Amino acid sequence: MKLLSLPAFTLLFAWSSAATLNTPRGEDPSFVLFTTKTGTTRPDAYPPGSGVYMCKDPNWGGCVQAPLPDLKEHPEVWCIGITGSWDNAISAFGPDKGLLCTIWDASACTGGGYDIRWPGIPDLRTVGWDDKISSF
């Protein structure tokens, strides 16, 4: 799996009921994540520094890593929505080891959902989720 260079890829999460933030990312400055409270994640659900891999091409091609907020420092629960060129454009998705992540076909973790565990799914066409993810 080849990851794109992400030296400036940093997420800053606003601790309000919903916030939108631009996430500069190399050749795709339109990549944006927003946070929204949900009731599905516990602070002890994953270790700090965890993240997910999202790829625009099957079999881990054209990937970025999206870090998750540290829920032990910020015990609020969160949903990460995807907008810009990554919305409905993900063909492979994998959470870090030990994580269970639900992907959603609508923003704010609504709509239809599908659970994915590490190591993830290298080709989302195999489960009917290619180019459908809008939040996780």
Position 65 scores a pLDDT of: 86
65-109 pLDDT tens trace: 887 776 666 556 578 888 788 899 999 999 998 888 899 999 888
Dihedral over Cα of 73, 96, 63, 130: its sign: negative
Cα torsion through 114, 54, 41, 79, rounded to 10: -90
pLDDT at 23: 42
Predicted model pTM: 0.71
Task: Check if CATH label 2.40.50 holds for domain 18-127.
Answer: no
Per the model's pLDDT, the better-predicted residue between 60 and 10 turns out to be 60
For 2-71, give the DSSP string: PBPP-TT-------SSEEEEE---TT-TT-EEEEEE-SS--TTSS-TT-EEEEEEETTTEEEEEEEPP-T
